[in-house]
């Protein structure tokens, strides 16, 4: 077999193995899963997620997902917990302990300590008959028949299953809490993801100059206004209300279609009824209007009056596009 064929075959087999195992997890969504989610939902404390080895890495990911979806969570390394970090666990906290085997030495030491504190213990394990499975108040079953590793040793499919069950818990809690996109924005204020959820049209227009001419402005003044405001466009405004728009393209078409431009006014070359958007709309909504209409500039309004311009370049610069 060629090297390339071997790589493709192995990759596809790995994906197929993991996909089948993940699909099978649906069979483990049972009464204990419901009780575990309800316990976390009703808890007045945090979710402390612990594990060791690869399970500790998955624990960190689950903590990040819970925090970002409105459920306060914190990571505690199972080995460090029995050497002083057990103080992380507070009275009302719910503890999720992750272990594929449920029988690792650190888990056997840690579990009785958590039970002594009277915290609810949720076991996330592939072995319900393990020490963790028997001692936990509730078990989240993440059993997999085999690892993707050909030697059935390296944690691959099992860690993927742990992460999927963690995601299922987080999304169930998200739905129970009625967690919305606005809530999500509070926890993701940075980067393009956050900006899509909170950046408004007014945040964009406030950065730009505000090109406008009257309907009776001559061509020279109109071109100067477009040039000086550097947005490739000007609104045609009458008593604060938008009656038209003139773009660079309109200027080019005017020069092509009129041999004599001396007597032309802004009203003669403008495009009437231009697309507009309210200042309070999200910037991502402005992007949708621009893309739908295949235009580069959009006029913003506030209380029906002209407020400014949103340019496609603004959205690119902000990372919205």
pLDDT at 92: 95
| Residue range(s) of every CATH 3.40.50.10490 domain in the chain | 3-179
311 is in an annotated binding site: no
As a whole number, mean pLDDT of residues 21-47 equals 97
Helix and strand element counts for the chain (H, E): 15, 12
More confident position, 64 or 179:
64
Alpha helices in the chain (DSSP H): 3-24, 31-42, 54-68, 78-81, 105-116, 131-135, 157-177, 181-187, 191-198, 201-205, 219-229, 248-257, 266-269, 283-293, 312-317
Query: Mean pLDDT score of the chain, rounded to an integer?
Result: 92
* pLDDT for 188 beyond 90: no
* pLDDT tens per residue across span 253-297: 888 887 778 889 999 999 998 999 999 999 889 999 999 999 999
CA distance 89 to 118: 11
The percent of residues above 90 in pLDDT, for the chain, comes to: 81
Contacts of 118 (CB under 8 A, 6+ apart): none
3-state secondary structure of 191: helix
pLDDT at 233: 95
Superfamily of domain 201-317: CBS-domain (3.10.580.10)
Enter the CATH code of domain 3-179. 3.40.50.10490
As a whole number, mean pLDDT of residues 194-217 equals 89
3-state secondary structure of 129: coil
pLDDT at 262: 82
- The owner of tokens 């903590």 is 63
The order of strands in the sheet holding 297-302 is: 276-278, 297-302, 305-311
The two tokens of residue 204 are 């964009």
* pLDDT for 317 beyond 70: yes
| Residue range(s) of every CATH 3.10.580.10 domain in the chain | 201-317
Q: How confident is the model at residue 298 (pLDDT cuts 50, 70, 90)?
A: very high
pLDDT at 190: 64
């Amino acid at each position: 077999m060629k090297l390339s064929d071997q790589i493709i075959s192995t990759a596809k087999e790995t994906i197929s193995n993991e996909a089948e195992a993940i699909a099978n997890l649906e069979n483990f969504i049972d009464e204990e899963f419901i009780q575990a989610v309800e316990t976390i939902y009703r808890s007045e404390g945090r979710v402390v997620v612990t594990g060791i080895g690869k399970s500790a890495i998955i624990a960190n990911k689950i903590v990040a997902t819970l925090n970002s979806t409105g459920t306060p969570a914190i990571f505690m390394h199972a080995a460090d917990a029995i050497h002083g970090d057990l103080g992380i666990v507070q009275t009302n906290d719910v503890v999720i302990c992750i272990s594929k085997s449920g029988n690792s030495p650190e888990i056997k030491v840690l579990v009785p300590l958590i039970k002594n504190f009277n915290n609810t213990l949720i076991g996330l394990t592939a072995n319900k008959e393990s020490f963790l499975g028997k001692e936990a108040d509730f078990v989240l079953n993440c059993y997999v028949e085999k690892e993707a590793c050909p030697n059935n040793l390296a944690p691959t499919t099992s860690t993927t299953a742990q992460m999927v069950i963690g995601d299922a818990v987080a999304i169930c809690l998200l739905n129970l809490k009625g967690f919305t996109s606005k809530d999500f924005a509070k926890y993701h204020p940075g980067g393009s993801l956050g900006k899509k959820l909170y950046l408004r049209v007014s945040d964009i227009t406030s950065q730009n100059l505000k090109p406008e001419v009257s309907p009776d402005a001559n061509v020279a003044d109109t071109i100067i206004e477009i040039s000086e405001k550097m947005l490739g466009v000007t609104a045609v405004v009458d008593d604060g209300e938008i009656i038209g728009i003139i773009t660079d393209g309109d200027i080019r078409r005017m020069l092509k279609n009129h041999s004599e431009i001396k007597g032309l006014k802004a009203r003669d070359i403008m495009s009437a009824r231009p697309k507009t958007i309210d200042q309070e709309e999200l910037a991502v909504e402005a992007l949708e209007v621009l893309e739908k209409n295949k235009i580069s500039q959009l006029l913003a309004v506030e209380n029906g009056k002209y407020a400014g311009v949103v340019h496609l370049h603004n959205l690119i610069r902000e990372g919205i596009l």
